[in-house]
């Protein structure tokens, strides 16, 4: 019979932490952790002490104080009365805009160049090689500056468009002007009936979705392929255009009278403007206001449009003197009293078109510059195209690698089934290649977004220029500003990669 003895008691010596393999790994990790924490504490303390030695504190209060500077490109309401926080937001939106536009164009360019580089046509594939190697191997900053310099130096300035025999002229029926300050294009303005137009468009989209579903079901059931693309395209455009032209025709003869403060009977728009100069105009949300401002620019006047949404606001704006000229519907004009609390209003002999549901405001020369429309600034164009072309070259290589990773047998099998080359590419090759393409594509999108901070070279007002540039400089809050900027870029990068990873999960090989 065996005697059971107690198992030997665990004895623990402090030296076991170092010599006993059971404990050593934990010891090392604990020490490493303490050292890392110590390093961070040291850095943080150092910062605090150095800041106090410089007489500075750590405070984000500057975000709430008045910025005092202007930003030329703003997607949201901003003036120099706004806060530094809002200026940062304007910069963030500008960064997002150029990153978004850049990612789209880079993807399109990259996919096309990547596919074409594999083309059997010698010239096409060499051309694509030149593009890819040229952009991949020359720093992005140089491309940004080159494109900006070309845009600035080789295009006419707005004053060249002036005069009876101008040196430069506008393109596409006087609606697009390419100048050294950027490209001016027509801006869409919504007028009466816009709601109807949008509703029809949404119904068309639903129709397209339903049709595609139907076509797919039918193909699965019978094998017959319906012309999905052409029908979708037709549904996309035709109903909206029909409604647009019908509505426009119905209201085309409507003319809106012009009410002017202090006008005399029988005055024309031109003589009224001559007497008053540089008028502020009130515009109800209708394209009549746009037509009025174009009419003013025709006679060489700049006009500040004050947007009002109701008749009561219009009345108030007139009374407070915010605007002295308004284009209103005849019914409103009739209900408008002749004298509003001492302000004399009278109709001019000129009238303006009521306008269409959707109208495009043309850029026109006025004052020093083109006014109206949308200005795509040179800085945006240079940054956008340089980022797109540069990143597109990398994406082209990724796409090429993806396509080459799909076995040649797949193409041959598809051809053997009688699929045409473009169908083979779209239905067989690219879906398989996507699994290889997407993961490196994510990092290209991240690169493009972070590279957009090179905007500094051309004065594009991104977040680095507003928060990280002027705000830091005017307030002296370097540390706070840079920390916020770091946080923003971190959050944006994580967001992009999260969204792209979701997409990646949806296209990757499903394993069961």
Partner 1 sequence: MNKSVFFGTVAAASLVAGFASAQTLAEVQERGTLNCGVTTGLTGFAAPDANGEWQGFDVGVCRAVAAAVLGDANAVEFVPTTGQTRFTALASGEIDMLARNTTWTFSRDVDLSFEFVGINYYDGQGFMVPRELGVSSALELDGATVCIQTGTTTELNLADFFASNNMSYEPVPIETNAEAQQQYLAGACDVYTTDASGLAATRATFEDPSAHVVLPEIVSKEPLGPLVRHGDNEWGDIVRWTLNALIAAEELGVTSANVGEIGNTTENPEIRRLLGTEGELGAMLGLDADWAANAIAAGGNYGEIFEGNIGESTPIGLARGLNAQWTDGGLLYAPPFR
> Coil, strand, or helix at residue 119?
coil
CB of 183 to partner 1, least distance (A): 13
507 binds partner 1 (CB under 8 A): no
**Smallest distance from the beta carbon of 105 to partner 1, in angstroms?**
24
* Number of residues lying near partner 1 (CB under 8 A): 47
Token readout for 52 is 């106090």
Separation of alpha carbons 206 and 188, rounded Å: 24
Between 27 and 252, name the residue whose CB sits nearer to partner 1. 27
45 binds partner 1, rule: CB under 8 A: yes
The reply on whether position 63 binds partner 1 by CB under 8 A is no
- Choose one: 43-51, 113-121, 336-344, 397-405; the region binding partner 1 (CB under 8 A): 43-51
Q: Is residue 157 near partner 1 by the rule CB under 8 A?
A: yes
What does the alpha-carbon distance between residue 93 and residue 113 come to, in Å, rounded to a whole number? Answer: 30
Residue 161 or 190: the one with the smaller Cβ distance to partner 1 is 161
Q: How far is the CB of 100 from partner 1 (least distance, A)?
A: 22
The phi-psi region of residue 372 (left if phi > 0; otherwise alpha if psi is between -120 and 50; otherwise beta) is left
Measured distance CA(211)–CA(279) in Å, rounded: 52
Contact residue for partner 1 among 456, 493, 500, 504 (CB under 8 A): 456
Q: Residue 166 interacts with partner 1 (CB under 8 A)? A: no
What burial class does residue 360 get, using C-beta atoms within 10 Å of its C-beta: 0-12 exposed, 13-18 middle, 19+ buried?
A: middle
Q: Which is nearer to partner 1, 51 or 495 (CB)?
A: 51
Interface residue with partner 1 among 29, 169, 319, 473 (CB under 8 A) is 473
Q: What are 78's two structure tokens?
A: 């901003």
* Smallest separation (angstroms) from partner 1 to the CB of 271: 22
Q: Kindly tell me which of 285 and 459 has the beta carbon lying closer to partner 1.
A: 459
Q: Among the candidate windows 66-74, 226-234, 306-314, 335-343, which touches partner 1 by CB under 8 A?
A: 66-74
Read out DSSP for 253-315?
T-EEEEEEETPPTT--HHHHHHHH-S-EEEE-SSHHHHHHHHHHHHTT---EEEE--SHHHHH
User: In a 3-state reduction of DSSP, which class is residue 14?
Assistant: coil
Contact status: 453 vs partner 1 (CB under 8 A) = no
Contact between 493 and partner 1 per CB under 8 A: no
Query: Which span (51-59, 165-173, 225-233, 309-317) binds partner 1, by CB under 8 A?
Result: 51-59
Name residue, tokens 């090179």: 454
Q: Is 354 in the site for partner 1 (CB under 8 A)?
A: no
Pairing of strands 325-327, 280-283: parallel
Is there binding between residue 50 and partner 1 (CB under 8 A)? yes
Beta-carbon contacts of 324 under 8 Å, excluding residues fewer than 6 positions away, are 260, 261, 262, 276, 279, 280, 281, 318
CA distances from 357 to 191, 205, 285, 372, 460 (A): 4, 19, 11, 18, 34
**Distance in Å, CB of 126 to partner 1, minimum:** 36
| Residue 227: HSE in the Cβ half-sphere, 13 Å Cα cutoff | 5
Question: Which of the stretches 16-24, 149-157, 196-204, 305-313 binds partner 1 when contact is defined by CB under 8 A?
Answer: 149-157
Residue 95 binding partner 1, by CB under 8 A: no
First-last CA distance in the chain? 56
Q: Does 65 bind partner 1 (CB under 8 A)?
A: no
Residue 275: CB atoms within 10 Å: 12
We find the least distance from the C-beta atom of residue 299 to partner 1, in angstroms, to be: 16
Q: Which of residues 267-306 bind partner 1 (CB under 8 A)?
A: 278, 302, 304
Cβ-based nearer residue to partner 1, 440 or 459: 459
Residue 118 DSSP class: T
User: DSSP state, 181?
Assistant: T
Under the binding rule (CB under 8 A), the answer on residue 378 touching partner 1 is yes
The residue ranges that bind partner 1 (CB under 8 A) are: 34, 38, 41-42, 45-46, 49-50, 53-56, 68-72, 79-81, 152-153, 157, 159, 180-181, 278, 302, 304, 366-369, 371, 378, 456, 459, 461, 465, 469-470, 472-476, 478
């Amino acid at each position: 019979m065996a005697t059971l003895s107690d198992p030997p008691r665990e004895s623990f010596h402090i030296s076991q932490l170092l010599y006993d393999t059971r404990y050593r790994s934990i010891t090392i990790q604990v020490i490493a952790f303490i050292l890392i924490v110590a390093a961070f504490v040291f850095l943080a303390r150092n910062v605090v002490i150095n800041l106090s030695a410089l007489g500075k504190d750590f405070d984000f209060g500057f975000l709430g104080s008045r910025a005092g500077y202007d930003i030329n490109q703003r997607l949201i309401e901003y003036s120099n009365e706004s806060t530094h926080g809002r200026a940062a937001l304007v910069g963030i939106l500008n960064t997002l805009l150029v990153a978004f536009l850049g990612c789209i164009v880079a993807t399109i360019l990259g996919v096309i160049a990547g596919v074409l580089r594999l083309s059997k046509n010698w010239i096409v594939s060499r051309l694509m090689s030149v593009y890819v190697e040229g952009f991949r191997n020359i720093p992005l900053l140089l491309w940004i500056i080159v494109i900006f310099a070309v845009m600035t130096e080789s295009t006419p300035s707005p004053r060249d468009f002036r005069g009876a025999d101008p040196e430069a002229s506008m393109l596409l029926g006087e609606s697009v002007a390419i100048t050294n300050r950027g490209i001016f294009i027509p801006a869409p303005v919504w007028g009466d009936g816009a709601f109807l137009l949008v509703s029809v468009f949404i119904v068309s989209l639903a129709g397209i979705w339903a049709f595609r579903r139907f076509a797919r079901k039918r193909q699965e059931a019978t094998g017959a392929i319906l012309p999905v693309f052409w029908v979708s395209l037709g549904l996309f455009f035709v109903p909206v255009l029909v409604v647009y032209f019908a509505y426009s025709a119905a209201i085309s003869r409507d003319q809106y009278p012009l009410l002017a403060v202090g006008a005399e009977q029988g005055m024309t728009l031109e003589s009224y403007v001559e007497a008053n100069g540089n008028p502020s105009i009130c515009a109800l949300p209708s394209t009549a206001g746009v037509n009025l401002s174009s009419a003013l620019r025709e006679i060489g006047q700049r006009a500040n449009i004050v947007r009002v949404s109701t008749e009561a606001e219009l009345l108030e704006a007139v009374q407070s003197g915010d605007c002295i000229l308004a284009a209103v519907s005849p019914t409103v004009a009739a209900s408008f009293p002749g004298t509003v609390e001492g302000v004399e209003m009278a109709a001019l002999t000129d009238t303006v078109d009521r306008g269409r549901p959707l109208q495009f405001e043309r850029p026109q020369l006025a004052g020093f510059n083109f006014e109206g429309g949308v200005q795509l600034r040179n800085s945006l164009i240079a940054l956008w195209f340089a980022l797109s072309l540069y990143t597109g070259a990398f994406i082209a290589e990724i796409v090429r690698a993806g396509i080459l990773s799909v076995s040649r047998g797949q193409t041959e099998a598809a051809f053997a089934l009688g699929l045409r080359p473009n169908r083979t590419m779209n239905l067989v090759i690219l879906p398989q290649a996507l699994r290889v393409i997407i993961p490196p594509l994510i990092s290209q999108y991240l690169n493009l977004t972070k590279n957009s901070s090179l905007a500094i070279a051309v004065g594009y007002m991104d977040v680095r220029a507003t928060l990280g540039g002027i705000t830091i400089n005017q307030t002296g809050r370097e540390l706070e500003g840079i920390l916020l900027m770091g946080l923003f870029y971190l959050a944006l990068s994580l967001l992009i990669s999260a969204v792209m990873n979701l997409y990646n999960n949806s296209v990757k090989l499903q394993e069961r």
